[in-house]
Structure formats: structure tokens, C-alpha cells
């Protein structure tokens, strides 16, 4: 599992383990009525270890999380006993057991089983980075990322929880929601502006969603990361599969003009249709 990426969403570890089990009702509260502080502390310790490039000691962890050294030590000992943390030369680091859990959870997703090869083929055919996303509550989560270009890599990883409004797959997933659920989500949640191009206004996002439904594809033009663009299309819910979005993303100096809007878009739409045919048999 990648380490040392300070841009990684802090909840990515929890997300990658619980992919198939997150409740899909956006109306539920994001904040538990009775938060279990001990659980939160354990997860914060685990996430901090993942985000830090080098192993950490008890003192460093307690200082960073503002908890007593005894508390940090107790949580580390418990996590170590459960196999989620290892101790090396007096320092602590995350184990690879989370990688096993995340991969096993992902392998149970029908859309991953069906779509992985198609995503790989799309990356090879375009020479770009292809992605497969699903929605978890109010987040877009990359289930699989296929990278063909060794000179550029996305700043997100499989399992990260990304805001729905900032990239093309996320906007496709928004467009797949019913108007009632989408309006409830837009009214309930504040949206962060990552760049000057980020769309945060509810009315503007509803207009964007209607356009995506009409066109069958969504574009992202530097709305999450400056200079990074993307195209995505929706793979509708079929049988036991969750609604998903297939996309291509990369630097704007390469993905632009007719190449993006016709060539890449055509291949994304074609691949999406191919996955749908595989899922439905027609």
C-alpha cells in the first residue's frame, strides 16, 4: 500500500477495507450520535502511520495526535496484536494485512470482476490512465486504476474517498442519482473548492448533472487538480453490480481539443458499452 503521500485522504484506509459494506443512503448522518473515541484514536494512529514515510515512535505519535504516550502505546500494542501494525527497531509502521483486506473486499465487487480487463485495455489503447469508480455515500471511490503512462501518475489511489463534485467519474455518479437524493445531498453538504474551476454551487451542479445526462459523458477540467483533466461515462446499475463510472484522466497539455473530446471520449463510451454488454448479456 502506498505510503508517504500527504495528499491521501485520511479515511482511505477504512474505505479500502469496507468497500462492499458502506451503507448507500446519503440521508444518513455523517457524524455518529455516540462516537467511540477509542476506535477513532486507533484509526487516526493507523492512518498517521500510513501517511508518514518513515516508522514512528510512541512519543512522535502522541505529540502529533495530541494524546498521552500511554494512550498511544496501548493503541499501538492492540493494533500490533491484531496484525495491523508491526514494530521494527523500536519504531512502528503499518503492516500489509490491510492490503490483503482491501484486495479481498474489492475482489467481491462484481463491477471489478467484470470491468478490470476492460479498464486495462482502455489504458493500453489510449496510452493514458484509465479509472473505475463507484459511489460510497457522498464520495467517489476509485476501485481500480490502470496506468499506461510511466511519465505521469494520478495523485489519488485505489480506495481513496474523493468528493463527488471534483472529477468526471464523480460527476457521472452524481448524475446517476435520483433528483430527490441528489438535491438532498447538495442541500445538506458543503463542498470544498480545490481550484478556481471547482463547481460548488448547488444550482450550477444540477445544471452540470442535466448536461451529463443528456450527453452521456462528463468532463473535468482542472476542478480537482490544476492542469489535470478527465472524461468519464456511467455504467448503470445492473443485477448485483453497483452503479460505476469509467474514466480517463491525465495532464491537460496532452488531453485536450479533439483528441480529448472525440478520440478519448469515443473510446470511453465504447468501453462503457462493452462492460454493460458483458454484465447484461445483450
C-alpha distances in angstroms, 51 versus 13, 32, 63, 78, 226?
10, 25, 16, 20, 23
Same fold for the pair 12-101 and 109-280:
no
Q: What is the C-alpha separation between 136 and 139, in angstroms, rounded?
A: 5
| 12-101: in CATH 1.10.10.10 | yes
Domain ranges for the chain: 12-101, 109-280
User: 109-280 has which CATH code?
Assistant: 3.30.450.40
Give 207's contacts (C-beta < 8 A, 6+ positions apart): none
Q: What is the C-alpha separation between 2 and 184, in angstroms, rounded?
A: 35
- Evaluated on CA atoms 215, 182, 177, 249, the torsion sign reads positive
The answer, yes or no, to whether residue 22 has pLDDT greater than 60, is: no
Residue of 257, 229, 267 whose CA lies nearest to 125: 267
Tell me what pLDDT residue 229 has.
97
- Interhelix angle for 110-126 vs 265-280, to 10°? 150
Q: What is the C-alpha separation between 154 and 250, in angstroms, rounded?
A: 7
Task: Give pLDDT tens digits for 140-178.
Answer: 999 999 998 668 889 999 999 999 999 999 999 999 999
pTM comes to 0.77
Task: Give pLDDT tens digits for 72-119.
Answer: 999 999 999 999 999 999 999 999 988 888 888 898 888 999 999 999
- Are 144 and 131 spatial neighbours (Cβ–Cβ below 8 Å)? yes
- Are 178 and 219 spatial neighbours (Cβ–Cβ below 8 Å)? no
Tell me what pLDDT residue 216 has.
94
Alpha helix stretches (DSSP H) within the chain: 12-18, 37-51, 58-65, 69-81, 97-107, 110-126, 168-175, 179-188, 202-215, 257-258, 265-280
Tell me what pLDDT residue 32 has.
60
Amino acid at each position: 500500500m502506498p505510503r508517504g503521500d500527504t495528499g491521501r485522504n485520511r479515511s482511505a484506509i477504512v474505505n479500502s477495507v469496507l468497500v462492499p459494506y458502506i451503507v448507500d443512503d446519503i440521508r444518513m448522518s455523517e457524524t455518529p450520535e455516540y462516537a467511540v473515541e477509542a476506535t477513532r484514536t486507533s484509526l487516526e494512529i493507523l492512518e498517521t502511520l500510513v501517511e508518514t514515510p518513515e516508522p514512528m515512535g510512541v512519543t512522535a505519535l502522541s505529540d502529533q495526535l495530541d494524546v498521552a504516550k500511554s494512550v498511544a502505546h496501548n493503541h499501538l500494542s492492540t493494533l500490533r496484536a491484531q496484525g495491523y501494525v508491526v514494530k521494527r527497531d523500536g519504531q512502528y509502521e503499518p503492516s500489509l494485512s490491510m492490503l490483503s483486506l482491501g484486495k479481498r473486499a474489492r475482489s467481491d465487487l462484481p463491477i471489478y470482476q467484470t470491468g478490470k480487463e476492460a479498464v486495462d485495455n482502455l489504458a493500453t489503447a489510449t496510452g493514458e490512465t484509465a479509472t473505475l469508480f463507484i459511489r460510497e455515500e457522498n464520495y467517489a471511490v476509485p476501485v481500480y486504476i490502470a496506468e499506461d503512462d510511466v511519465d505521469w501518475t494520478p495523485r489519488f489511489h485505489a480506495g481513496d474517498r474523493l468528493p463527488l463534485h471534483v472529477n468526471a467519474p464523480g460527476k457521472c455518479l452524481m448524475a446517476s442519482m435520483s433528483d430527490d437524493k441528489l438535491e438532498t445531498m447538495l442541500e445538506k453538504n458543503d463542498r470544498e473548492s480545490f481550484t478556481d474551476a471547482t463547481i460548488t454551487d448547488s444550482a450550477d451542479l444540477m445544471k452540470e448533472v442535466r448536461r451529463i445526462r443528456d450527453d452521456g459523458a462528463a468532463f473535468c477540467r482542472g476542478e480537482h487538480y490544476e492542469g489535470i483533466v478527465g472524461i468519464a461515462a456511467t455504467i448503470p446499475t445492473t443485477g448485483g453490480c453497483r452503479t460505476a463510472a469509467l474514466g480517463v484522466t491525465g495532464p491537460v497539455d496532452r488531453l485536450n481539443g479533439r483528441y480529448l473530446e472525440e478520440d478519448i471520449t469515443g473510446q470511453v463510451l465504447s468501453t462503457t458499452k462493452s462492460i454493460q454488454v458483458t454484465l447484461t448479456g445483450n
